[in-house]
């Protein structure tokens, strides 16, 4: 039983597999074409299996789904390195990256977007009950930032309680917000996790400009995103002329950047007939999961209270 063995950060390193090449290409090496939910990618670059403060999830769902634009890869690597310098994580507990996209983009299983090389799913940094870093995993967290790694859903003996590492997760978002080369557009995350992270920003006395930008970037989509952050980046300047298109919103600061370079935002909306990957409904996911012990079903019932998309009245949240 896993619950009888201490989970250490290094325990998962052996599963990481061979290292991928570092993102050493120039800015023109990759081209995002179309929209995140209706597009493709030329010259996609692989995310490194491991870099300072970040690693690919060895258990990620989609083999081959670790490609993105060079700008997207570099932004994640730079932000993770900031966290590692200031709040070091033991090996195996670094920022953990799930799916990005396929080398040529297009539909990717389990996702409604991730088609044009500008979307990345990253797991929250997590702590154990003693407040020590532990390996990240897609564990849904409640309104207090706590959850349970149930592992075998039918066996309560291997349950492991976890909690959000708000300090490291916030510092990662702050690093993205403060990176002048990072074209971060969206952070999809559950509303209650957003609240916890912004509270951490206030405790850390983070710069007001970074807090304001993250406030604007963060919204809960139709699915709650209570177990990971979904990051989306704007089209790079040199991709706009090649057919890259952003979906709303275009922030005033981005319009000013483009105007200074003689460019205008390239906007689009996904075609109704666009290629899509099949995504599972809640009912299908429950059926596939099989038998569950009572603590799992109780948590799923509690999860319903924050799963409906909120409409908080913020200007950049639909």
Q: Model confidence over 143-180: pLDDT tens digits? A: 999 999 999 999 999 999 999 999 999 999 999 999 99
Q: Is residue 8 domain-resident?
A: no
Which domain, by its residues, includes 95?
19-270+278-307
Q: Is residue 126 domain-resident?
A: yes
Q: Is residue 188 domain-resident?
A: yes
Which pLDDT score, from 0 to 100, does residue 17 have? 35
Q: Is residue 25 domain-resident?
A: yes
Determine contact, residues 8/92, Cβ cutoff 8 Å.
yes
Q: Is residue 3 domain-resident?
A: no
Determine contact, residues 164/124, Cβ cutoff 8 Å.
yes
pLDDT of 2 over the 70 cut: no
Read off the CATH number of the domain in which 171 is found. Answer: 3.30.1380.10
Q: How many domains does the chain have?
A: 1
Residue reference for tokens 């038998």: 291
**Omega of the bond leading into 240 within 30 degrees of 0 (cis):** no
| pLDDT per position as a tens digit, 32-79 | 999 999 999 999 999 998 899 999 998 887 889 999 999 999 999 999
Q: Is residue 9 domain-resident?
A: no
Determine contact, residues 10/92, Cβ cutoff 8 Å.
yes
Distances (CA, A) of 285 to 7, 105, 155, 279, 282: 27, 25, 18, 10, 5
Q: Is residue 312 domain-resident?
A: no
Q: Is residue 4 domain-resident?
A: no
Cα-flanking dihedrals φ and ψ of residue 169, to 5°? -65, -45
| CB-based contacts of 49, cutoff 8 Å, min separation 6 | 16, 17, 18, 19, 20, 55, 56
Strands 38-42, 31-35: pairing kind: antiparallel
Average pLDDT of the residues of the chain? 90
């Amino acid at each position: 039983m896993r619950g009888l063995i201490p989970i250490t950060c290094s325990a998962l390193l052996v599963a990481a597999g061979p290292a991928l090449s570092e993102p050493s290409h120039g800015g023109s090496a990759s081209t995002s074409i179309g929209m995140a939910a209706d597009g493709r990618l030329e010259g996609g670059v692989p995310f490194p299996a491991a870099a300072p403060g970040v690693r690919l999830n060895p258990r990620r769902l989609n083999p081959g789904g670790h490609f993105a634009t060079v700008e997207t890869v570099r932004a994640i690597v730079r932000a993770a390195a900031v966290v590692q310098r200031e709040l070091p994580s033991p090996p195996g507990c670094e920022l953990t990256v799930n799916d990005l996209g396929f080398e040529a983009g297009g539909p990717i299983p389990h996702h409604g977007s991730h088609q044009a090389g500008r979307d990345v799913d990253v797991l929250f940094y997590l702590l154990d009950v003693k407040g020590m870093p532990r390996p990240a995993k897609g564990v849904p967290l409640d309104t207090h930032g706590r959850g349970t790694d149930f592992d075998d859903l039918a066996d309560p003996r291997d349950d492991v309680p976890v909690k959000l590492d708000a300090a490291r997760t916030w510092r990662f978002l702050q690093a993205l917000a403060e990176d002048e080369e990072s074209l971060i557009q969206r952070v999809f995350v559950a509303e209650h996790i957003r609240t916890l992270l912004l509270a951490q920003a206030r405790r850390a006395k983070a710069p007001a400009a970074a807090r304001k930008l993250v406030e604007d970037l963060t919204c809960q989509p139709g699915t709650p995103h209570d177990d990971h952050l979904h990051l989306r980046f704007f089209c790079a300047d040199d991709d706009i002329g090649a057919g890259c298109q952003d979906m709303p919103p275009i922030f005033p600061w981005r319009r000013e950047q483009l105007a200074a370079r003689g460019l205008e935002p390239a906007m689009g909306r996904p075609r109704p007939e666009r290629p899509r990957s099949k995504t599972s409904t809640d009912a299908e996911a429950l059926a596939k999961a099989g038998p569950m012990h009572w603590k799992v079903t109780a948590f799923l019932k509690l999860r319903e209270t924050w799963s409906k998309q909120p409409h908080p009245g913020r200007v950049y949240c639909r």
